[in-house]
Structure 1
Amino acid sequence: MNKEVQLIEFQLKDYKETWEYQETLFKEILDIKIKNRREEIEAPTPNYLISVEHPHVYTLGKSGDIKNLLVNEDELQKKGATFYKINRGGDITYHGPGQIVGYPILDLENFFTDIHKYLRLLEEMIILTLAEYNIKGERSKGETGVWIDVGTPTARKICAMGVRASRWVTMHGFAFNVNTDLSYFDAIIPCGIKNKAVTSLQKEIGGRPLVVKEVQEKLIKHLSTLFEAELTLKV
């Protein structure tokens, strides 16, 4: 089993370009697995983690409801935002500058074959990172992602998640609000969940902007520990 994860760091990169790149890496791993089974060989499969920020964009998962997008095309243009319907699970979400978006493209057969465990570990990575800022992140029953003040009238989401998997290979991932402009969430019903707010790390610590790179390093540290993986920078 190959537990090396190659880290691919983009700063600000177009959503569609990143999605197409994800698809290329996803197909690369699937092709190796198919060839392994066909030829009864055991060539190792690679694992990747893309870390990126996107220009303003809204994405709708395959089971999502377009009614959860509350603006029309003209209003999207005024916001400088784009919209895509995509092939991950989950409903609608927003990506933008100041948000760490992570796309793990992993062959889970290198780690464990359990999608439920995979999602819980991604949530745990966020929870452990929040703890370093003295913030208590929590899971909300039946709602994938990471929340604050679960079970109270002020419950708010700080990290959304949506994944796709085929033959135990994953793509898509998580969106962690760090210095995110939260006003962009007013244009949607985030994740299709009404009457619940969203928040950011910046807001939770009192408004001081954070260095995104420092937060990213904490996330990577926890992911490496939780998945017992060795992360190396892809050049």
Structure 2
Amino acid sequence: MKKKILFFEDLGKKEYKETWEYQKRLFYDIIQKKVNNISYQKAGYFLFVEHPHVYTIGKNGKKNKHLLVTSDFLKKINATFYQTDRGGDITYHGPGQLIGYPILNMDYFFTDIHKYLRLLEEVIIHFLWKNYGIKGERKKGKTGVWFHNNVVEKSRKICAIGIKISRWVTMHGFALNVNTDLRYFDHIIPCGIYNQEVTSLKKELKKNDISFKEVKQMVKKSFQEIFDVEFMPITKK
């Protein structure tokens, strides 16, 4: 069976707002083509990016409860804040964290939101096990990838997921902590979940630093395998 083709682009380090606007342009372009029954030969896009310090919250998130600091404090730590159009609650993005934004036309895959979320989790679970031999897991009733200590309150979250779907086109995606400064999570209730820890690949492997370049390549391969796709580079005009 012929693999689905996605345009791939590594945006490097880029501000959250600029990336969000870029996502929306790609997202609405696919939707517009669907609405007008215009043939679209590719199944969508997959973007990698690394953001400067920023806190984002989903459309139903509770800023007053889950953001623990003031706007002035955010300025002191060089962080910005955005209310977004994705699902989920509050999270942090920053240097050393790999963000993956799949902008997919789900007509090429399947039309099942829960299956899509589980496959995004599976990409990270597959990446962790295949490359590092560590077992990432799901947490009942929650979205993301975790490590467990056999005590629910002490589970450690390594990857957050928040998405938007409209007319079966996706945007937003996952945030994998690689070399992330975890102290920035102290200023929020991550994903609105109390009594949880946040971790990183660097912390779990007890290393000074993890090759970000290598992680990108490995996550990319896991995404290709789990979603059964091939990547094509975006050619800028």
TM-score if structure 2 supplies the norm length?
A: 0.94
Partner of 1:35: 36
Moved more, 129-138 or 10-19: 129-138
Separation in 2, partners of 1:17, 1:228: 29
Is the 8 Å Cα contact of residues 13 and 54 (structure 1) preserved in structure 2?
A: yes
Specify the SS of the correspondent of 2:29.
Answer: helix
Task: Look up the match of 2:171.
Answer: 171
Structural mapping, 1:57-76, within 5 Å? 57-66=54-63, 67-76=65-74
Provide the rounded CA distance (Å) in 2 between the counterparts of 1:231 and 1:42: 19
Deviates more, 1:218-227 or 1:180-189: 218-227
**Structure 2 counterparts to residues 1-235 of structure 1, below 5 A:** 3-36=4-37, 42-66=39-63, 67-131=65-129, 132-149=131-148, 151-152=150-151, 153-235=153-235
| Bigger mean CA deviation after superposition, 73-82 or 44-53 | 44-53
**Cα distance in structure 2, aligned partners of 1:204 and 1:184:** 18
Structure 2, unpaired ranges of 5+? none
Give the deviation of 1:2 after TM superposition.
8.0
Q: Number of residues paired by the alignment?
A: 231
Write the distance in 2 (CA, Å) between the matches of 1:106 and 1:43: 12
Question: Aligned partners of 2:3, 2:148: CA distance in 1, in Å?
Answer: 38
CA distance in 2, matches of 1:47, 1:180: 28
* CA distance in structure 2 between the aligned counterparts of 1:42 and 1:189, rounded to whole angstroms: 44
2: distance between equivalents of 1:55 and 1:78?
14
CA RMSD of aligned residues (A): 1.4
Distance 1:106 1:203, change over 3 A: same
Residue 182 of structure 1 aligns with an amino acid whose one-letter code is L
Change (3 A) 1:2 1:137: closer
Runs (4+) off by over 2 Å: 41-46
Q: Look up the equivalent residue of 1:17 and give its one-letter code.
A: E
What's the secondary structure of 1:143's corresponding residue?
Answer: coil
Question: Is 1:105–1:172's contact at 8 Å kept on the other side of the alignment?
Answer: yes
Change (3 A) 1:2 1:35: farther
- Which amino acid is 2:145 matched to? V
Q: CA deviation at 1:122?
A: 0.7
- Distance in 1 (CA, whole Å) between partners of 2:187 and 2:89 is 14
Q: Summarize deviations over 1:175-207 as a string: whole Å, max 9, x none.
A: 000000000000000000001000000000013
Unaligned runs of 5+ in 1: none
- Contact preservation (8 Å) 2:6, 2:42: no
Displacement of 1:46 after TM fit? Answer: 4.4
Question: Aligned letter for 1:234?
Answer: I
Using the TM superposition, give the Cα deviation of residue 233 of structure 1 relative to its aligned residue in structure 2, in angstroms.
Answer: 2.0
Write the deviation string for residues 8-62 of structure 1: whole angstroms up to 9, x where unpaired. Answer: 10111000000000000001000100010xxxx6443541011000000000100
Percent identity, aligned pairs only? 56
